[in-house]
Structure 1
Amino acid sequence: MSDIIGITMGDPCGIGPEISVRALADMSPAERQRTRIYGNLTTLEAARAVLGLDLDLSPNVVDLPLDGAPLPWGQLSSVAGDASFRFIERAVRDAQACAIGCIVTAPINKEALNSAGHHYDGHTGMLRSLTGSKAAYMLLASERLKVIHVSTHVSLQEAIRRATTERVLATIRAGDAHLRRVGYASPRIAVAGINPHCGENGLFGTEDDDQIAPAVAAARAEGIDAHGPISADTVFHRAYSGAFDLVVAQYHDQGHIPIKLVAFDTAVNVSVGLQIDRTSVDHGTAFDIAGKGIANHGNMNSAIAYARKLVAGRSEQG
């Protein structure tokens, strides 16, 4: 299996090209040799010029065509949406062929992606489709708080519908398996409730008692150290303070808000359950600052470091 990290450039009109180039510039020569950027060389060179860096990009770029490159910074474009899909598609094929060991994704714009005819809710759904995986889970990892989601880019009403016993149990299992892979001998997993105070014995809803509690019980019966449901207004603080290694969040904002509060620039988005490894920055395309050379690339550095950890862990497992 390759130890090369493949960075997908993201939307050419966003900050992805800048943070990709800046991250590459931060690397040691040895790390740079084990890194590829899947994108458009002309766009990446424009980003390098914006950043004022003296760096030969060509040895590290898998150059894919882009009509009109470089496109204007900060503008919604179906051309850019199509390009961002093609960058990812090529990286996925190379990962499946073991030419790269892990994909690190810079941000894409979902509106641009869909306007180009690629109808996905984001990276995770796209990667699940491209790899033919049955399921994929979004895990956000920071130093003191880690969260995995039962559902992500759906309405709150749909998220409640999806919080079935089977889906919650599958999410617990996926989180437990991932943490064991990255070095936790017996991960302590907290499962957040979906209603205020976990429904208060049915006063505020019965989903916690009827759907979530049975999933926790089933996980414990399998030997997983799962706890809950625990009221969402306390569980994240308890995890951040060290009581748990991972929180299972029932929907997008329940998990994203605490992570972005405590680790906005360092949290890493990890796709769990795919046939390939993928990490990502946990922010968007930031069209308002694209092309200005001021985007913070700390999140990209964290995503790359996590990717190298996954690759190294797989090598150790044989």
Structure 2
Amino acid sequence: MHSLPVIAVTVGEPAGIGPDICLRLLERARQAPFAARIVVLADRFLLAERAALLQVPISLRDWDASLPPRVDTLDVLHLPLAVPACAGRLDPANAQQVLALLDRALAGCQSGEFAAMVTAPVHKGVINDAGMHFRGHTEYLAEHTGTSRVVMMLAGGGLRVALVTTHLPLKEVPAAVTAVALEETVRILHREMGRKYGIPRPRILVAGLNPHAGEGGYLGREEIDVIIPVLERLRAQEGMALLGPLPADTMFSQPVLARGDCALAMYHDQGLPVLKYASFGHGINVTLGLPIIRTSVDHGTALDLAGSGEADPGSLFVAIEQAIEMACR
């Protein structure tokens, strides 16, 4: 049992559903044990309080890698909150602890203590309200690993959808879809599909930026000036299997999807609504290009559900399963 990989799970925003779904890990482990050891990074007292609120009987144990795992006990790496957290009520005073969870999980992955990290949702707004610039997990982990470019990919419902740009205002997207950004993204996606999914020569469907992929320049020139030259160069020089640029409104039709192993969208709300429609509650977020393995749930903090017992832990379970598979691969 001690040879099993160790997966670190950060509880995320303490006022959200992160604690609720982490408490469900024991329920899942009793039904179908994970092929790994799971350690939850959280305030131990927060988990105990939320368990009492939800009337979930649970045994918590301070994380000790030398102790054998127990199916009736949740291992917790305790990182204290600044102030007690109330379900559904954000408090900027605890924002620093939320980031400390990420820092500790990242340090453990870098040192080899953990094989991967899985993140429950955080609330970007309250972290920024606390005076700390935070665009999201993806950008934060890239900065703290010194990675110049990472790629956000969501997977679920039979789809894998990666993004060229992530958390940007829509008006800033066209300028951010540069030849450099697109080429680096395609290279990372191509490489990581082999490393993380065992597909060494993936077929990548690439969306255009504009409606109808620009309609030959009548609806925008980004396809002609940027996207087509990059795809042609990578096909010719690297032999990559790249299909596109495709109109985004038809790229996600079944006949087209059958021709690819993954899809690349130019911006957040071009690709992710389709994926979340197909898989919400059981999709996951994978950060490609990092020197560590990181997966995440595909949903937010759901403050209105926190402490209600109605939060669905399915996405967390899938994120952990995928992290284990990637670590073993």
TM-score of Structure 1 vs Structure 2, range by shorter chain: over 0.9
Match of 2:99 among 85, 91, 109: 85
Partner of 2:5: 3
**Does 2:191 correspond to 1:177?**
yes
Partner of 1:102: 116
Give a deviation string over 1:166-214, Cα, whole Å, max 9, x none.
2111111111111112111421101100001111111111001111111
Match of 1:57 among 56, 60, 66: 60
Partner of 1:25: 27
Alignment of 1:221-260 (within 5 A): 221=236, 222-238=238-254, 241-260=257-276
Contact 1:2 1:99 in 2 (8 A): no
Match of 1:117 among 105, 112, 131: 131
Kindly state the Cα deviation for residue 307 of structure 1 after the two structures are TM-superposed. Answer: 0.5
* Structure 1 unpaired stretches of 5+: 314-318
* Cα distance in 1, alignment partners of residues 260 and 98 from structure 2: 36
Partner of 2:308: 292
Q: Secondary structure at the match of 1:295?
A: coil
Kindly state the Cα deviation for residue 8 of structure 1 after the two structures are TM-superposed. Answer: 0.3
Kindly state the Cα deviation for residue 30 of structure 1 after the two structures are TM-superposed. Answer: 6.0
**Letter of the 2:296 counterpart:** S
Q: Secondary structure at the match of 1:61?
A: strand
Partner of 2:69: none
Match of 2:145 among 131, 144, 148: 131
Aligned residue pair count: 312
**Letter of the 1:235 counterpart:** M
Match of 1:148 among 128, 151, 162: 162
**Does 2:81 correspond to 1:66?**
yes
TM-score (norm 2): 0.90
Identity of aligned residues (%): 37
Partner of 1:304: 320
Kindly state the Cα deviation for residue 143 of structure 1 after the two structures are TM-superposed. Answer: 4.3
* Cα distance in 2, alignment partners of residues 80 and 10 from structure 1: 11
TM-score (norm 1): 0.93
* Cα distance in 2, alignment partners of residues 137 and 269 from structure 1: 10
Contact 2:251 2:257 in 1 (8 A): no
* Cα distance in 1, alignment partners of residues 205 and 8 from structure 2: 33
Contact 1:136 1:273 in 2 (8 A): yes
* Cα distance in 2, alignment partners of residues 23 and 267 from structure 1: 17
Partner of 1:13: 15
Match of 2:204 among 189, 213, 221: 189
Partner of 1:316: none
* Cα distance in 2, alignment partners of residues 279 and 240 from structure 1: 27
Contact 1:7 1:104 in 2 (8 A): yes
**Letter of the 1:149 counterpart:** L
Alignment of 1:35-54 (within 5 A): 35-54=38-57
Contact 2:206 2:264 in 1 (8 A): yes
Kindly state the Cα deviation for residue 33 of structure 1 after the two structures are TM-superposed. Answer: 6.5
Q: Secondary structure at the match of 2:162?
A: strand
* Cα distance in 2, alignment partners of residues 31 and 269 from structure 1: 19
**Letter of the 2:232 counterpart:** A
* Cα distance in 2, alignment partners of residues 272 and 11 from structure 1: 23
Distance 1:184 1:38, change over 3 A: same
Q: Secondary structure at the match of 2:253?
A: helix
* Cα distance in 2, alignment partners of residues 131 and 185 from structure 1: 25
* Cα distance in 1, alignment partners of residues 17 and 255 from structure 2: 32
* Cα distance in 1, alignment partners of residues 255 and 291 from structure 2: 29
